[in-house]
Structure 1
């Protein structure tokens, strides 16, 4: 910071001299603060990397536990043009024959023709969809067909009836469509208007033989027959849990299937439910990779090379050693209450190498998945199973009250103190700069006075 101009009496550059003096005093103190801040920043980043590598495992264990990842089922349909299927972990493996006899569809009705520019007059339409009803009041000055459509579609109590207008060579027609499929979602319209009103064209009751509007599409439930015996219906084209843990998504009727251009009658769809061994094996492999990534990260952060003296930012930190030892203990200790066929990782073919990483004996893992699939899922995902133990162990270090969070909080406190030291240093240097500048200014003034006196004396001496 410059204060004032360069000296004029002495000819000295006061600002430059003051800045050099202040910088010489500031530099070593500021360098120490910056060095300490850099070291703290490196440590904060290191703990962040360690925490992230551990949380990858923790979140994976939570997924194993909550989403039954290790109890996955596979499901296939031999004719996806007729239906597709999805299965939860509760699905019972087996083959099921499914015939789609009827698809769910929404109700749709259409009126007779009329002049679209005609004013229909005042009246009321009581419109029902299933068990719900809303009343549409039609005023005299808003009684053209587009007004009626707008009043229906924008009615605040409309429960799912869509009004529209179609035109043909004869005239305009009002169409009412339900947004819900199923037999229980029929549309009804009761008209309250003068007998001669065009609004009378919009009355409809599916229970009546004679109606002003006609049915374009009947409201129907979906219907399937499973294994030739069980008849199941649904108001949508998704049949849920008729086969335990399986949802059937219906696309077309069984009799609509085509084979080389010919209609195929009564060709049921085969739905095959099984254990998804590939998915479960892949999930276990991801867990092993996650631990090995943590192992690599922790070794890099805590390394020390006696030859080069190179060291990681967390060298000597007890957290790394503690977490690793605790994880190894869980890996090798039998899980209490686990199935007899799988009580430890080693029984799945997962062991620790001499270096400290995990490795998989895939032959052994495949055999377990083939013979004891359900037991593998139980080992990982039960209430007090392997996944829960690893998750809880890691959370004790990465959670908001965990050991890593405690170290990070301590380091952040150090950053706050260093920032405070920097602020104090800046204020002190401002004071030093002002005091030094004042001293140089006073010296410059004194030199100016001396120079003036000398010049005065010289002028009085004889030439």
Structure 2
């Protein structure tokens, strides 16, 4: 490759001159590109922050949609070892005396014991029946206890039988257990041999032993007896689930149910906090600093102005509840001049204690309840294909266009640099030639007769 030296003929620093000329054209435009890129990135970051705040607010609103968290109950069992209890919003306040007479048990039966669990059993099938449902498992001549158990457990129509190989001092046996407790879920097994009597010898008649009897649970609630298939009793007291853990007919436990006012209040406070946090985010993202004369990324943005307007309108609206119009102010939540919610503790406590139906209706009424409307509003923004998604897509397209503009401009600047270098080098060559001609002319003049050289 030929070496090119620039500026030899003219003595000019051509590379520097060209760089200065190109930079004079390039730097202002690149500054515009950089500012545009920074603006887009700031907006993308801002709508990400907005989406996060909206999602948190939506989560808080969703918790109040069904009313479950606005009509919570707390239960006390007095540290009873016989059961635990959970209450839904349907549970009514009250006190109940409870005895657990018997726990429900799952039926278990075991086949005859064998010395080698890996020995083949026979050929045929095992027919199972449990709670009115039947299924059958084929047994191949080479199947051992483990293979039979695996076939039972993997049967597509298995209606609730679990097979396990158990080893004891008496030998190994297959144990068939009902997946559910109660008398209705007793297991019936019939063995059908195709060849020999191996299956019958293991599973039929007296060869199939009951290991655990099926039992229903039995409890007494205020002296009234109730039998259940399960140890999880849901129909003894409306809205209460009792999970039985121990039986003793001679012991009585007391179950107390009451409204959990503190839990309701905390859920409402959480809603207020996330709402105010959302407004704070909106304020920061759309603010203008008059002292620094700088605007936030979404200052003046129609999307965020519309969202803020809708939020403020909703918190001031009234909801029809049992023929009356109820607003947040009526239960102790009011807005300040910035649109944020304040809590009147005394008024809220009174509403929770004496007017829970209004609170539930205000938030949880289908379609018109505030929780449902806030959830719908937030979802319009944060869902896939929603307002924020569409805005983000527009920024992505803007970034693509900016990238193309940068590439086109870079090519243009490269061409400008090449053209200027070519022009200056051509000029430098001309200057070098002129200098050579000038030097030659001086030499010839100096060589003329009578010429005197002046030092």
TM-score range relative to shorter protein:
0.7 to 0.9
Q: For each residue in 1:160-203, what CA deviation from the matched residue of structure 2 results, as whole angstroms up to 9, or x when unmatched?
A: 43333334444333333233322222222222338974433322
Partner of 1:68: 68
**Number of the residue aligned with 2:139:** 137
Q: 1:433 aligns with which of 388, 407, 417?
A: 417
Q: Which residue of 2 aligns with 1:369?
A: 352
Ranges in structure 1 where 5+ consecutive residues have no aligned partner: 205-209, 256-264
Cα distance in 1 between the residues matched to 2:2 and 2:358: 84
Name 1:352's counterpart in structure 2: 335
For residues 408 and 174 of structure 1, what CA distance do their matches in structure 2 show?
Answer: 61
Q: Which runs of 5+ in 2 are unaligned?
A: 448-455
The CA deviation string for residues 107-151 of structure 1, in whole angstroms up to 9 with x for no partner, is: 212233333178556322323140222132221xx1544444444
Q: Does 1:217 align with 2:212?
A: yes
- 2:238 matched residue in structure 1: 244
Q: How does 1:194-209 map to 2 (within 5 A)?
A: 197-204=197-204
Question: Normalised by the size of structure 2, how large is the TM-score?
Answer: 0.81
User: Structure 2: how far apart are the matches of 1:9 and 1:344?
Assistant: 83
Following superposition, the deviation at residue 31 of structure 1 comes to 0.6
Aligned counterparts of 1:319 and 1:192: Cα–Cα separation in 2: 73
The counterpart of 2:262, out of the listed 271, 278, 289, is 278
1:231-269 CA distance string (max 9 Å, x none): 2412x321224322222212121x0xxxxxxxxx43233
Distance in 1 separating the partners of 2:269 and 2:89: 20
Deviation at 1:290, TM superposition (A): 1.8
When normalised by structure 1's length, the TM-score is 0.80
Aligned mate of 2:293, from 309, 323, 326: 309
C-alpha spacing 1:8/1:296, structure 2 compared with 1 (3 Å): closer
- How far apart are residue 230 of structure 1 and its match? 4.7
Q: Match of 1:105, SS?
A: coil
Per-residue deviation, 1:88: 2.1
How far apart, in 2, do the equivalents of 1:148 and 1:350 lie?
Answer: 66
Instruction: Give the 3-state SS of the residue equivalent to 1:128 in structure 2.
Output: strand
Distance in 1 (CA, whole Å) between partners of 2:227 and 2:4 is 98
Contact kept, 8 Å, 1:191 with 1:199, in 2: the verdict is yes
Measured at CA, do residues 168 and 23 of structure 1 come closer, stay the same or move farther in structure 2, by a change above 3 Å? same
CA distance in 1, matches of 2:385, 2:232: 46
1:333 corresponding residue in structure 2: 317
**Preserved CA contact (<8 Å) 1:33 1:418:** yes
Whole-Å separation in 2 of the counterparts to 1:4 and 1:362: 87
Question: Which 10-residue stretch deviates more, 65-74 or 386-395?
Answer: 386-395
CA contact (8 A) 1:339 1:379 kept: no
**Contact 1:332–1:345 (Cα < 8 Å) also in 2:** yes
Task: Name the counterpart of 1:23.
Answer: 23
Q: Which residue of 2 aligns with 1:262?
A: none
- 1:307 CA drift (Å): 4.4
Question: Alignment partner of 2:114: what SS?
Answer: coil
**How far does residue 217 in structure 1 lie from its aligned partner after superposition?**
0.4
Partner of 1:423: 407
Q: Which moved more, 1:323-332 or 1:242-251?
A: 323-332
Alignment counterpart, residue 222 of structure 2, candidates 223, 227, 234: 227
Query: Per-residue CA shift, 1:267-304, capped at 9, x if unaligned?
Result: 23322222221111011111221222233223333333
Query: Which stretch shows the higher mean deviation, 399-408 or 371-380?
Result: 399-408
Instruction: State the 1:446 CA deviation.
Output: 5.5
Partner Cα distance (2:335, 2:416) in 1? 63
Q: Which residue of structure 2 aligns with residue 258 of structure 1?
A: none
CA distance in 2, matches of 1:317, 1:333: 25
Distance of 1:331 and 1:305 partners within structure 2: 28
Pick closer, same or farther for the CA change 1:122–1:453 going to 2, 3 Å: farther
- Supply the RMSD in Å over aligned alpha carbons: 3.7
